[in-house]
Structure 1
Amino acid sequence: MNRPAEHILPDLLRPGLALVFCGTAAGERSAREGAYYAHPGNLFWRALHEAGITPRRFTPAEYPDLLELGIGLTDLAKRHSGNDADLPRDAFNVPAMMAKIERFQPRLLAFTSKAAARAALGRPIEAYGPQPERIGTTRVFALPSPSGQARRHWDIEPWRVLARQARLD
């Protein structure tokens, strides 16, 4: 729980990606399994498919296969895992995440929660969807959290908007 370590989950990044998803931190289940969004209550993998971002529903263990679709993954806390409220105050390394995005320049960066977007952008997020900031040439998007703990805020529609944006690029 909240253990400092080498990267809990490796970044899935390379130049030329259409879309990168960025969360806050790996949950305990994801850290144990070594796979992004691994908790069965997390809607991430279902949302990717239902929104039309992926052609089928992937399993958490298949996350490396997203690169073939032009999709990458990262998070703000690379050395800590757990619920956001339980993370140390310095768990999020925003400068490192920004540097990765500036280096790899995906077309879109989608934060998988308002909390992640707020932490990275340094301001409250008023609405889901496109945000006014750019990181280099990368456009920024905020999504409802797929976490089971955020179920009352769940809405697939911003994920569908993201899918349309990603296809237009």
Structure 2
Amino acid sequence: MIDFCSPGDVPRPTREQLAAAHDRTIPDVLGPGLDVVFCGINPGLYSGFTGHHFARPGNRFWPALHAAGFTPRLLRPDEQDRLLEFGLGVTNLVARATARADELSAEELRAGGEVLTSTIAKYKPRVLAVVGITAYRTAFAKPKAAMGPQEDEVGGVGVWVLPNPSGLNAHYQLDGLAAEYRLLRESLR
């Protein structure tokens, strides 16, 4: 059983601090020759506040990554730079922080897809893993895309679509997320 980060691991922002994090950006964790670059939809306000990807307590990215075997232990959001040690990176389709992904327009997602294509072409990981099927469908005009490996490439790199690890995604519990992430990891062998 994997536990989520305890509340003490992430600073508790005030409402005012969260509001001030709206539209902030956070740096990508990227480097050349990575096995997988995980691409979120966009940072949430907790991430905008902390400067760390998938930082909101209850987000299941870090536990799913560990449970799938990508990391030897559960990393905290403030340890995101350690992903590089494991051949992993993280970025977002849209750079600006919002309270919810549905605040993003289709045009913004498509523009983010163009930027992501350039970024992936530059770094050339083995696989781009987009975490969020609806955002992937919109950003890349693939309305019938399903979870798992895609026929098309982004920036010359194969794409795998994974479920969004947000606590708002009620379709997947942690075990289901970890199983989907594990399929990707096993495909890399």
Matches within 5 A, 1:1-169: 1=19, 3-5=22-24, 8-92=25-109, 93-154=112-173, 155-156=176-177, 157-166=179-188, 168=189
Q: 5+ unaligned residues in a row in structure 2: which ranges?
A: 1-18
TM superposition score normalised by structure 1: 0.89
CA 145–4 in structure 1, closer or farther in 2 if over 3 Å, else same: closer
- Point out the structure with the larger strand share: 1
Three-state SS of the structure 1 residue aligned to 2:169 is: helix
Deviates more, 1:110-119 or 1:59-68: 110-119
Q: CA–CA distance in 1 between the matches of 2:70 and 2:51?
A: 23
Amino acid of the residue matched to residue 90 of structure 2? L
Shift of 1:86: 1.8
Structure 1 residue runs of 5 or longer lacking an equivalent are none
Q: Aligned residues: percent identity?
A: 36
* Contact 1:143-1:159 at 8 Å conserved across structures: yes
Q: Distance in 1 between matches of 2:72 and 2:97?
A: 31
- Post-superposition Cα deviations, 1:129-151, rounded to whole Å, max 9, x if no partner, equal 11111124411001111100002
- Bigger radius of gyration among the two: 2
Distance 1:97 1:137, change over 3 A: closer
**Superposed CA RMSD:** 1.8
1:113-168 CA distance string (max 9 Å, x none): 102321332112442111111124411001111100002244222111011123x1
Residue 109 of structure 1 and its aligned partner are, at CA, apart by 0.4
Q: Check the 8 A contact 1:17/1:107 in 2, yes or no.
A: yes
